[in-house]
Each structure stands twice: as structure tokens, then as C-alpha cells.
Amino acid sequence: MDKAAAPPDDTAIRLRGLSKTFGSGSTAVHALRDVDMTLRRGEVVGLVGPSGSGKSTLLKCLGAVVEPTAGRIEMGGQAVFDSASGGWLIDDLRALRRDRIGFIFQAPYLIPFLDVTDNVALLPMLAGHPDREARARARELLEALDVGHRLGVRVSLLSGGEQQRVAIARSLVNRPPVILADEPTAPLDSERALAVMRILEEMARRYGAAIIVVTHDEKIIPTFRRIYRIRDGRTVEEAGEGRSLGP
């Protein structure tokens, strides 16, 4: 049961003083140091930094698979983690990930033994929605992402771009306020990378999700309006170029 509740606002996610330290004493590694971050609904923000800078650790903390050492995380105006209150304020972290966080990975990581529709419908089914409703939701999203003609196809038969769009549909299907995208354009050429960014922008706008895109892909960095640069576990917010992604 949730131990904390707060009135919802336009903020999708807010981090305050988030830190993560692995180990202790002389061998301690400070992966995150006092990270502050705020994302509004419908916003796509870049998280940029070199390898080992703490991007993945931040993503894992936000994804509720690694517990921060200190700080506070709010999602949709509700505190879900507060070190001052003892850590996670949500008992069921699986349900938190399932219902409030969407994940997009570098590779699509679709479930190979499910078809396109069921790869997306699986999440609402896991959340207890009836199969018919879950599949209807999945179809709606897949059609919005231009893969509606591949609904019953096994995912291994899709092109790389189609698989990535299915993965995006999966991240959106439970209408989470936050989507964590871990280098979603890394394996793609410029044209396809920009196409994926266009889709993310549109989906964020349409479904009101805040999307954090972890990347060091120079092709897409200029498209962000806001960027968090991370180095040695510290983040610095800066304005992006917000270059147009075209129609």
C-alpha cells in the first residue's frame, strides 16, 4: 500500500537530491550525486553524457530497479521514493513499473514468442485488464504508430524500425506519466533516428507522457529543447537547440 500521497499537478517526474553510491568506505563509487530534475507531461528531454557518467544508474533508479542512496522521486505529483521516509514509498515496485513507467531500450527487446499485438497487449493484461480491452488498446497504438498492418505477425519478421515502433507502443500502452528511453536510436541511421524522435515527440504530446531519452547520439541531440548533461554523477540542465523534426 502507498505510504504517501500528494495532489497531482502537471509535473510528470521530479527528482530532488538523488544520489546513488555503490559500496562503502574507500571503495565507494558515487554513481549519482545530488541530481535534480523536473519533467512536465508531454515533454521530451535528453539525458546526455559519456560512458560511465551515471546515465544507466539514473535510469535504473527512475525505473525502480535500483534503490537510490538518498534523495526523493515524485511521479505525477506523488512521492514514490524518499530516503528521509525510509526509501520506497510504494510497496509493489513491479506495479509501479508496469503502470507508471514505460521502457524503451536500445534494442527493441520484444518477446520473440508473441506476435505484435500481444507484445503490446501483455502489459495491460499483466495489470489485470481483460484480454479484449488490452488488445484493443494495443491495436489503437500500433495503428497510430503505422504498424497496424502487422498486428498478427511474429515480431522476428518485422524490420528494425517496425520493431522499435512496437517497442514504443508497448511503453505507452498503460498510459504511464514517464517513459524511459535508453538510447533508442543507437542502432539506426540518421533518417530513422530522426523518425523515431518524431514519433516520441508526437506520442509525448498525444498521450501526455514525459520522455527521458538517454543518448550520446549526435544526430538527435540537437532536436531536444532541454538537455540534462551528466558527468561523474552530477547533472547540469541546459537549453537544447530544439531543432525541428519536420512533418
Partner 1 sequence: MISLASRDIGHHLGRFVFTGVGLGLLIGVTLTMAGVYRGMVADGRAVIAASGADLWVVQQGTLGPWAEPSSVRDDAYRALAGLPGVAEVANAAYLTMQVPVRGRDVRVMLAGIEPGGLGEPAQLVAGRPLLRSHYEAVADEAAGLAIGDTVRIRRHEYAVVGLVRRATSSAGDPMLFIPLKDAQEVQFLKDNDSLVAERARTAANPALNRPGIPGLLDAVLASQNAGRSVNAVLVRVAPGYPPEEVKAEIGRWKHLTAWTRADMEDILVAKLIATSARQIGMFLAILAVVSAAIVAFIIYTMTLNKQREIAVLKLIGARDRSIAAMILQQALALGLIGFLVGQLAALVWAPYFPKHVLLEPGDALRGLAATLLVCAVASLLAIRAALRVDPADAIGG
**40 within 8 A of 12, measured Cβ to Cβ:** yes
The residue among 59 and 196 lying less far from partner 1, judged by its C-beta, is 59
Stretch binding partner 1 (CB under 8 A), from 41-49, 69-77, 126-134, 201-209? 126-134
Pick the binder of partner 1 from 121, 168, 179, 204 (CB under 8 A).
121
Q: Does 95 bind partner 1 (CB under 8 A)?
A: yes
Does residue 20 sit in helix, strand or coil? strand
Residue 192 engages partner 1 in binding (rule: CB under 8 A) = no
The DSSP line for 76-109 is TTEEEEEGGGTEES-S-HHHHHHHHEEEE-SS--
DSSP strand E in 124-199: where? 178-182
Name the segment binding partner 1 (CB under 8 A); options: 120-128, 185-193, 196-204, 225-233.
120-128
- C-alpha grid cell, residue 154: 511474429
The C-alpha cell at 23 is 559500496
Among 65, 68, 4, which Cα is nearest to 37's? 68
Which set of grid coordinates corresponds to residue 245? 523534426
Nearest distance in Å: CB 115, partner 1: 9
Q: Which stretch binds partner 1 (CB under 8 A): 7-15, 112-120, 198-206, 225-233?
A: 112-120
For the bound state, the minimum distance from the C-beta of residue 3 to partner 1, rounded and expressed in Å, comes to 20
Amino acid identity of 103? F
Among 16, 40, 154, 243, binds partner 1 (CB under 8 A): 154
Question: From CA 47, how far away is CA 94, in angstroms rounded?
Answer: 24
First-residue to last-residue Cα distance in the chain: 44
Q: Confirm or reject binding of residue 127 to partner 1 (CB under 8 A).
A: yes
Question: Do 207 and 172 contact (CB within 8 A), yes or no?
Answer: yes
Which lies closer to partner 1 via its Cβ, residue 109 or residue 225? 109
Residue 126 binds partner 1, judged by CB under 8 A:
yes
Q: Note the Cα 138 to chain centre separation in Å.
A: 18
Residue 175 engages partner 1 in binding (rule: CB under 8 A): no
> Please, which residue, 167 or 204, has the CB nearer to partner 1?
167
109 forms part of the interface with partner 1 (CB under 8 A)? yes
Interface positions with partner 1 (CB under 8 A): 51, 55-56, 59-60, 63, 65-66, 94-95, 97-99, 103, 105-106, 109, 111-114, 118, 121-123, 125-127, 131, 154, 170, 180, 182-183, 214
